[in-house]
A = this chain, B = another copy of it.
Amino acid sequence: MRMIVIGGDAAGMSAASQARRRLGRDELEILAFERGDFTSYSACGIPYWVGSLVDGPDELIARDPATFRKDGIDVRTGHEVTGIDLGARTVTVRNSDRTFTEGFDLLMYAAGAQPVRPPWADNPASGIFGMQTLGDGAALNAWLSSFEGGGRGGGGEGRDAVVIGGGYIGVEMAEALVRRGLRVTLVERSGQPMSTVDPDMGALVADAVRGLGIELRTGVTVQALETSDDRVRAVVTDDGTIPADVVVLGLGVRPNTALADAAGIPLGVTGGLATDLRQRVTGPDGVVDGVWAAGDCTEVTHLVSGKTMHVPLGTHANKQGRVAGINIGGGYATFPGVIGTAVTKICDLEVARTGLSSREAEAAGFRFVTATIESTNRAGYFPGAVPMTVKVLAEKDTGLLLGAQIVGRAEAAKRIDAFAVAVWNRMTVTEMTALDLGYAPPFAPVWDPVLIAARKVADKI
């Protein structure tokens, strides 16, 4: 048996590793193609690399090709799969030298996501960067270093950067460029950065972004890029032109499934590959024989709204890849879905969410109430106690916990995990008020902020 893996990042290589742990080389040959230069890396670490907080790129690579090869996984970087023939069970592969075909019995599709690029972003001028792959990070770092002078993290100091898109990556990249000494403008089409949290929580994020010295422009739509001498010079918006020596695009991603589509593999409602709980690709006619998928190219079920969504996060990619690999290897594992947990940090502001935001709860048809509380990370009298804001959503009448959001300066973000496990288990906020969470003055007030928030929203049920 031979498995071909398309894509050498978290999902594909987790699947390969798990399958290899269960099946010997004589039972399963594993051949993985990665069009980029790196395998199994932390894309989430790129902003910290650009921001000179961590070294790169080696530090961001969990496992390199040589290590995989030692374990009997033949992974080839710089190899792009350009076609799949499901009938003939072959893929067409291109590298810098040639194009060739390889046969497979099993196909693991883990091609990831590709950046959303509006027409105006399709510009050959230099100084324009996506921020999705380790290669993107390397290219931006090289560009910054190419400027004369050079500040804390190399060159670029005093230049103008415009980051387009105020989601997690956009905000993290804006901070990274500030760290490198650039003047940074963050442009976001909606009314707030991080529109995955409610507007009142987003306002706290906006304050933190501005506190870093970032010029935050919300409600602004980009219309074009101005270039000259093959370099980007400015970003043209519906609210004026912003000078730019470098432009970073953080406009989100969509599933990279064109190859699957061309091969006649059915796509799901989001354009991602639909899978069953074991990560087998499914279509209108059931399971697509011998084709598995995991990671950013797939769609997932949101366990609170029941909706099918595209949620491109490394944490899901790793879990899905592991599940696929266990099943391919003859074991049994399932990936039931996601509940929308996400955390990030802007300077020292921690932002976290799980479940549904107000907008999502409305869209799903829930009738719900919310409560927001202010508390502290530690007992109020304990050194290092700083404020924390917690917002909770619960279904009206039933009290079912629908979601939670947390913003705070310390020991805030990971408190979302208590809510996440509660959402996962369909707890009511009333039941949550009795939860036996950890208490000691260095770690929490005697009523943890999680419990205070649950109490407040429970009072409204």
Q: Which residues of A contact B (CB under 8 A)?
A: 10, 42, 44-45, 48, 53-55, 59-60, 313-316, 318-319, 333-336, 338-345, 350, 352, 354, 379, 381-383, 411, 413-418, 420-422, 424-425, 427, 433-444, 446-448, 450
Q: Contacts A352-B438, A382-B48, A424-B435 given: A443-B336 contact, CB under 8 Å? A: no
> Besides A54-B382, A342-B440, 5 other CB < 8 A contacts?
A10-B446, A42-B381, A53-B383, A315-B437, A343-B440
- CA A7 – CA B374 in complex, angstroms? 29
* A313 neighbours in B (Cβ, 8 Å): 439
Cβ–Cβ contact B314 & A45, under 8 A = no
Tell me the number of copies of this protein: 2
Among A425, A436, A442, residue most surrounded by chain B Cβ atoms (within 10 Å) = A436
- CA A336 – CA B341 in complex, angstroms? 28
Cβ–Cβ contact B424 & A438, under 8 A = no
* A447 neighbours in B (Cβ, 8 Å): 315, 318
| A320: nearest chain-B partner, CB-CB | B434
Q: Show 22 A/B contacts (Cβ-Cβ < 8 Å), sorted by A.
A: A42-B379, A45-B379, A45-B381, A48-B382, A54-B383, A315-B437, A315-B447, A316-B436, A338-B436, A341-B439, A342-B438, A342-B440, A345-B440, A352-B438, A413-B438, A413-B443, A414-B438, A417-B418, A417-B438, A417-B448, A421-B421, A421-B435
**Chain B nearest CB, measured from A381 CB (Å):** 4
Cβ–Cβ contact B334 & A440, under 8 A = no
Please give me the 7 A-B residue pairs with the lowest Cβ-Cβ distance, nearest first.
Answer: A343-B438, A421-B421, A425-B425, A315-B439, A59-B381, A417-B418, A341-B436
